[in-house]
Chains A and B, each alone.
Chain A
Amino acid sequence: MSLTVSLTKAYPGFELSVDFSTESRRLGIFGRSGSGKSTLVGMLAGLVEPGEGFIELDGETLFDSRRRFSLPPEKRRIALVFQEGHLFPHLSVEKNLLYGYRRTPRALRRVDPAELIGVLGLDDLLERRVGTLSGGERQRVALGRSVLASPRLLLMDEPLSALDDGLKYQIIPYLREVFDRFAIPFLFISHAMNEMRLLTEEVIVLHRGQVSGQTDPERLARERMGWARAGYINLLRLADPLEEEGLFAYPFGTGRLVMWAGGPGESVFELSSTDIMLFRGHPEAVSARNLLPGRVVSVFDLENRVGVELDCGGETLIATVVRPAAAELDLRPGSEVWAVIKASAFRRLY
């Protein structure tokens, strides 16, 4: 996919002026509320008339103010998933799912409804009225409805933010599976860093109506860790644990990680950088279950703290410590340290 956007739109007291170009099939738009994310989405979908500029998708012009050209939304083949789903209340789940599919010319259909319904786990819901669905089910149907239109680009405007944390992370694997299997390029809008890191490969940062950065989600997370209270969130994709005395031991690099939560197959865990303690020598008699030898790869300043990138048997962990602690331990690239993590510090996302 290639997308080039150069747009301006003026509102009283707010001006949006966005310029970017990307080849990424998993694009994130990151920014706080009021940064212009939703306006941008509306303009891409053809629902909001831009002031000046142009939009080009895969070599086709969708909008060009100089030529006074604007492709109507139904011709753009850009589908949209809203924050609240916005399913058609007068149609059943099945009819909602097939609304766009039926309006897509046969030659352009790339998604098989039965297969998608299976992937999204919607088989048992097809006859249901939309009003009886839970929040998570609703978003899965909304996603399915958009994907079945075989769009050239799928826009998702904070599709997870109306869901609570537990549900949110239950849906992410569905999203990943759908995008992997049906190869649909998407643009994912959110103000949540974890969602960006779990779903996108490139992020455009919007700030007060302007593009303030175009980067990859990992780099963005590291840049932002300084002023996040929780520090940096290590996202660990781990698989195939051994169960020992009610705990789960996951292979990690050349060593392993022991934690409370776990389950069969692959899971994703979050671990805050502030939950990792660093020791210069091997600590004796500690209650924490994880003692990992590691080598410092880099040390970087964050406000009043120091970020420490560790290589633990081939895997990367990032810890944050306060500045005096870093000085006392004499942390510098190449230092050998022990990372100590409690089994309870890991939070399983899905």
Chain B
Amino acid sequence: MMMTLTPQDIDAIWLSARVAVTATLFALPFGFAVAYLLVYSRLPGKLFFDGLVNLPLVLPPVVVGYLLLLALGEQGWLGSLLKPLGIRIIFTWKAAVLASMVVGFPLMVRAIRLGMEEIDGRLIQASRTLGAHWYDTLFTVILPLSGRGILAGATLMFARSLGEFGATIIVAGNIPGVTQTIPLAIYDYTNTPGGDRLALGLCLVSILLALAVLMGNEGLLRRFGSRRRP
């Protein structure tokens, strides 16, 4: 079977990549900060906070998308705040980024957190007794030693973004060339008579992308590992 990609498919692939990269980069600092708070802070109500962060993991993505739509719509509390500034998010590619960020966030936090929990507490104590303030320790000890966790978190987030469908279709719509990512394009094809071959082509692209991400991640992790443990 010949694999054919239409110009519209190429658009979808680029858009998917752009959304996934943007969502991952934007979410990273927040993911790191939330993981830090969950691991090292002594906040009251940490359990509740933890639950809140993990909520999108168990909620149907459609629900997440709908809530985002309510918040960002013209009458929504966020949407009405942004409107005077001339910023419209819903039904643009930014909405797809936001949907991916929210849905992938718990995965990212979880991975970073696991990495942080592996750091020997005595290293943190050592840095404090050597005169480092907590934020100094954060950037010179915890951040570099969380490298593996951050990488794993970014990979999960990226992969999850590539596959995001439910929340995206509600808050960003399915507009070819504007918000139509790979999964949305496949969904379109399956609803079109004779679209099977085209859908399969995009499926193949999906598989190749996912494989590339996983292999790249594995390679980087290995490099990290060999640097740390001889």
Taking beta carbons and an 8 Å cutoff, which residues of A are in contact with B? 45-47, 72-74, 76-80, 82, 84, 86, 88-90, 99-100, 103-104, 129, 131-132, 145-146, 149
Give the shortest distance, in Å, between B103 (CB) and chain A (any CB).
Answer: 32
Bitwise interface map of B from 110 to 152 toward A, beta carbon under 8 Å scored 1, else 0: 0000000000101101111111110010001100110100000
Q: Decide: A79 near B130, CB < 8 A? Known: A86-B123, A89-B228.
A: yes
Give the shortest distance, in Å, between B199 (CB) and chain A (any CB).
Answer: 46
- Contact (Cβ within 8 A) A88 B141: yes
Q: How far is the CA of A145 from the CA of B228 in the complex (A)?
A: 20
- Contact (Cβ within 8 A) B130 A47: no
- Contact (Cβ within 8 A) B136 A103: yes
- Contact (Cβ within 8 A) B230 A146: no
Closest 8 CB pairs of A and B: A100-B130, A103-B131, A73-B128, A86-B122, A90-B144, A131-B230, A80-B129, A47-B125
Give the shortest distance, in Å, between B42 (CB) and chain A (any CB).
Answer: 11
Give chain A residues whose Cβ lies under 8 Å from the Cβ of B230: 129, 131-132
Q: Decide: A145 near B129, CB < 8 A? Known: A88-B123, A103-B136.
A: no
* Extra A-B contacts (5), CB below 8 Å, given A76-B129, A80-B129, A131-B230: A74-B130, A88-B123, A88-B127, A129-B227, A149-B130
User: Mind listing 18 A-B residue pairs with CB under 8 Å?
Assistant: A45-B129, A47-B125, A73-B125, A73-B128, A73-B129, A74-B129, A74-B131, A76-B129, A79-B130, A80-B126, A88-B126, A89-B145, A99-B132, A103-B130, A129-B227, A131-B229, A145-B126, A149-B129
Q: How far is the CA of A45 from the CA of B129 in the complex (A)?
A: 7
Give chain B residues whose Cβ lies under 8 Å from the Cβ of A149: 129-131
Give the shortest distance, in Å, between A187 (CB) and chain B (any CB).
Answer: 13
How many residues belonging to B are interface residues under a CB distance threshold of 8 Å?
A: 22
- Contact (Cβ within 8 A) A99 B130: yes
Give chain A residues whose Cβ lies under 8 Å from the Cβ of B140: 99
Give chain A residues whose Cβ lies under 8 Å from the Cβ of B133: 74
Chain B stretch 202-230: residues in CB contact (< 8 A) with chain A = 227-230
Give the shortest distance, in Å, between A131 (CB) and chain B (any CB).
Answer: 5
* Cβ contact of A86, chosen from B120, B132, B227, cutoff 8 A: B120
Give the shortest distance, in Å, between B186 (CB) and chain A (any CB).
Answer: 42
The chain B residue sitting closest to A86, CB to CB, is B122
The chain B residue sitting closest to A149, CB to CB, is B130
Q: How far is the CA of A61 from the CA of B145 in the complex (A)?
A: 34
Most chain A beta carbons < 10 A, residue from B123, B145, B147: B123
Give the shortest distance, in Å, between A74 (CB) and chain B (any CB).
Answer: 5
Give chain B residues whose Cβ lies under 8 Å from the Cβ of A45: 125, 129
- Contact (Cβ within 8 A) B125 A145: no
Bitwise interface map of B from 144 to 171 toward A, beta carbon under 8 Å scored 1, else 0: 1101000000000000000000000000
Q: How far is the CA of A132 from the CA of B228 in the complex (A)?
A: 10
Q: How far is the CA of A79 from the CA of B127 in the complex (A)?
A: 9
Give chain B residues whose Cβ lies under 8 Å from the Cβ of A77: 131
Q: How far is the CA of A131 from the CA of B131 in the complex (A)?
A: 24
Q: How far is the CA of A46 from the CA of B122 in the complex (A)?
A: 13
Give the shortest distance, in Å, between B139 (CB) and chain A (any CB).
Answer: 12
Give chain A residues whose Cβ lies under 8 Å from the Cβ of B136: 74, 103
- Contact (Cβ within 8 A) B229 A82: no
- Contact (Cβ within 8 A) A103 B125: no
Most chain A beta carbons < 10 A, residue from B122, B128, B131, B147: B131
